Amino acid sequence: MKYRREHQNLRIPGPVPCPTEVIDAQTRPLIDHRGQDFGHMLKNLVERLKRIFLTENDVFILTSSGTGALEASLVNTLSPGDKILAVVTGFFGQRYSDMAKALLIDVEELHFEWGRDIDIGILREALATHPDIKAVLVTHNETSTGVTNDLASISRVVKKEFGKLLLVDAVSSLGSVELKTDDWECDVVAAGSQKGLLTPPGLSVISFSESAWRAYEKSSMPKYYNDLGLFRTFMGIGQTAFTPAISLLYALDKSLELILREGLDSFIDMQREQAFMIRSKVRSLGLGLLAEDRCASHSVTAVKVPENVNADDLVDLLLDEYSIVVGRGQGSLKGKLLRVGHIGKVPEQEIQDLVSALSSALTRI
């Protein structure tokens, strides 16, 4: 994969730098989204996405950010007043919970310290204490803290022990972190195009299990644009329910080709090795990391700064003086850390440039 680097070393956890071939694919002439050529492309896209999700479940492509797919996970499986458990380990887990509250769902929140992963024993206790819970919301990879939650173990509790619906935010894990949708019995998995799928922002993808469809039949939540029943009907005739972002679908088509040509396992292993390299180099500067190694993300690393340093000032300096873009801390971590994204193939020189710039900037802040 070749990347076109203009002026900035973009090291945020999304959107990520896209391969040149993916960017160029968007320049193809548009086609009729109700025609046969589009139908063939859509069918191939869904078949290849299933290989990324590792699922035989239905998969749909929505024209929205990943947030649209997350809302779809709720409005298609739940009704106002349903009780759910939202497991919160950071900013995006809280946002998933807040989204459910806005839909008048009865949300029981289970909080863990930001920078820690989900304690399976505490999760089990929460489900035993609240037998009326219908579904559990989990953020697989918490982008705000650089923590990957153990989804396999979570599933064993949620599905095998308690038989609840498992709804998964995989926005920053799909394509970057091991995610076995079917083996782990994930009922709904939602993600966006702009991270591990190496595609510009604007598309979201969602997988939907048979258990999720049974929940759909009972759901009374108002929905139209995100009604997956409509999408399933139109998929039957090779179409999307509404006008799609055709140019972005071209880009996704190319990115999936590149990822699967390399092999999903190899693609994830490459990102794991990059993450290890970045963590090692950051530690060599004397900086600490928020997440423990055992649960550290392959897609983003949260770097703690010295107590006398405002992390936002450091982020600004890296951009202004070194043309390197890293993410800021979010929520309660604002000003306390910076977030380094390493999704997709990161040239080793860019990693070294980042570390050198960080070392220099720390002496100037």
Query: What single-letter amino acid sits at 268?
Result: I
d(CA 206, CA 73): 8
pLDDT at 56: 98
pLDDT at 3: 46
d(CA 59, CA 188): 10
pLDDT at 365: 84
pLDDT at 1: 53
d(CA 108, CA 106): 7
Give the CA-trace dihedral at 340, 341, 342, 346, to 10 degrees.
-90
Residues of the chain with CATH 3.90.1150.10: 9-16+263-362
DSSP 12: S
Per-residue pLDDT of the chain in tens (365 residues, 90 and over written 9): 554 445 689 999 999 999 999 999 999 999 999 999 999 999 999 999 999 999 999 999 999 999 999 999 999 999 999 999 999 999 999 999 999 999 999 999 999 999 999 999 999 999 999 999 999 999 999 999 999 999 999 999 999 999 999 999 999 999 999 999 999 999 999 999 999 999 999 999 999 999 999 999 999 999 999 999 999 999 999 999 999 999 999 999 999 999 999 999 999 999 999 999 999 999 999 999 999 999 999 999 999 999 999 999 999 999 999 999 999 999 999 999 999 999 999 999 999 999 999 999 999 98
CATH number corresponding to 20-260: 3.40.640.10
Per-residue tokens: 330: 């979010």
Residue 59: which residues within 8 A CB-CB, separation 6 or more? 46, 49, 50, 53, 205, 206, 207, 208
With tokens 């509404």, the residue in question is 242
According to DSSP, the residues that pair with 202 across neighbouring strands are none
Cβ proximity of 78 and 54 under 8 Å: no
- CB-based burial label for 362 (10 Å; 0-12, 13-18, 19+): middle
pLDDT at 6: 59
pLDDT at 8: 86
Architecture of domain 9-16+263-362: Alpha-Beta Complex (3.90)
pLDDT at 30: 98
d(CA 58, CA 212): 10
d(CA 112, CA 174): 23
Residues of the chain with CATH 3.40.640.10: 20-260
Give the CA-trace dihedral at 244, 247, 250, 252, to 10 degrees.
-70
Residue 105, SS3 per DSSP? coil
Q: How far is CA 171 from CA 67, 168, 175, 296, in A?
A: 9, 9, 9, 16
d(CA 116, CA 122): 13
User: Phi then psi for 244, rounded to 5 degrees?
Assistant: -90, 165
User: Phi then psi for 250, rounded to 5 degrees?
Assistant: -60, -45
